Amino acid sequence: MLTILHGDNIDASRTELLAMIAAAKGKEIRELNGRSLDTNELTQALESSSLFGGNTLVVIENLFSKLGRQVKRIEALSSILGGSSASTDIIVWEDKELGITALKSLGKAIVRTFKLPAVIFQLLDGLRPDAARPMVLLFQKVVAVQPAEITYTLLVRRVRQLIQLRDGVAPEGLAPWQASRLTGQARLFTMDELVVMHTKLLDMDIAIKTGTSPFTLAQRIEQFLISL
C-alpha cells in the first residue's frame, strides 16, 4: 500500500508520519532520502527480505525536492513504486503540496493533504507598514486555529524572502508568479526596515527559548506586528 502525505502544514503531516511509523509494530522500517534516492537503492529497499522475516515499511522523504524534479528519474522511481510487493507498505512524505501531475506519476495511492488555514497566508501577504490593526486582527484569527509557533516560523521565512527579493535575489523554491507578487511586497519596505524586522524575530526566538521574556510567543508576535 502506497500512502502519500503532503501539504504546507508540515507540522501536521510530520506528526501523522511519526504516528504511522509508531503504529507499524512488527515491521522493519526502512527510511530513504528522496533527494538522493536512485533506482537501485529503491529497488533494494522494496524487494529485499526483512531481517526479521516479516513485512516492511519504506518511508521516502522529499522525493519531489529540487533534486527530484528530473522527469526521467521520477518516472523510473514511480514505476518501481507502482510494482512493489503487497507485503511492503510505502509512505512518501513531502514538505510541500504536490501538484496533480506529481500525484498521478505515483499511481494508485492513498493521498492525504495537510493544508494550513488560508488566514495564515492572508496575514503573511498583508505584512506591510502602517497596517498594525488589520494584521493583529488576522493574527488573532490565526492563533485560534493554529499554534503561534507555526506563524512565527512562516513570518521568519517571509521576511527572509523579502530581504532576498529587495536585494534582487530570487528565493529558492518560489514560482515566478510568487516571486513577482512578493517583490511588490518587498518594495513596501526599505532594506534597513526588513533587516530590523528579521533581527526582532531572532531576538524574540532567543527570549522565548531562554525564558527571559515575560510574554508568550503569541504576545510577542502581536507586539512585533504593532511595531511595523
What average pLDDT does the chain have? 88
- Summarised one tens digit per residue, pLDDT across range 35-90 is 888 888 888 888 776 555 567 899 999 988 764 455 666 667 777 776 655 567 89
User: Last residue of some domain: 64, 93, 113?
Assistant: 113
Domain boundary among the residues 113, 130, 152 is at 113
- d(C-alpha 217, C-alpha 204), whole Å: 8
130 and 193 fall within a common domain = yes
Asked if 127 and 109 sit in the same domain, the reply is no
| 6 and 108 assigned to the same domain | yes
CATH code where residue 163 lies = 1.20.272.10
Region 211-217: mean pLDDT is 94
Residues 45 and 124 occupy one common structural domain: no
pLDDT band at 124 (very low <50, low <70, confident <90, very high): very high
92 and 130 co-located in one domain: no
**Domain containing 55: what range?**
2-113
Looking at the fold, whether 138 and 171 belong to one and the same domain comes out as yes
Of residues 73 and 10, more confidence is placed in 10
Q: Using CA atoms, how far apart are residues 194 and 200, in angstroms rounded to an integer?
A: 10
84 C-beta neighbours (distance < 10 Å), count: 20
* CB within 8 Å of 169: residues ≥ 6 apart: none
Does one domain contain both 96 and 198?
no
- 162 SS3 class: helix
The answer on 15 and 96 residing in a single domain is yes
83/128 same-domain check:
no
pLDDT value at position 73? 66
Residue finishing a domain among 113, 139, 156: 113
Query: Strand 110-113 vs strand 88-93: parallel, antiparallel, or unpaired?
Result: unpaired
Supply the pLDDT for residue 182. Answer: 96
C-alpha span between 3 and 48 (Å, rounded): 20
- Looking up cell 528579521 gives 198
Residues 42 and 87 grouped into a single domain: yes
Query: Do 127 and 54 share a structural domain?
Result: no
Looking at the structure, tell me whether residues 131 and 160 fall in a common domain: yes
HSE-CB at 64 with a 13 A cutoff on CA atoms is 22
Q: For the chain, how many structural domains are there in total?
A: 2
Tell me the pTM: 0.76
What dihedral do alpha carbons 20, 101, 164, 131 form, nearest 10°?
A: -80
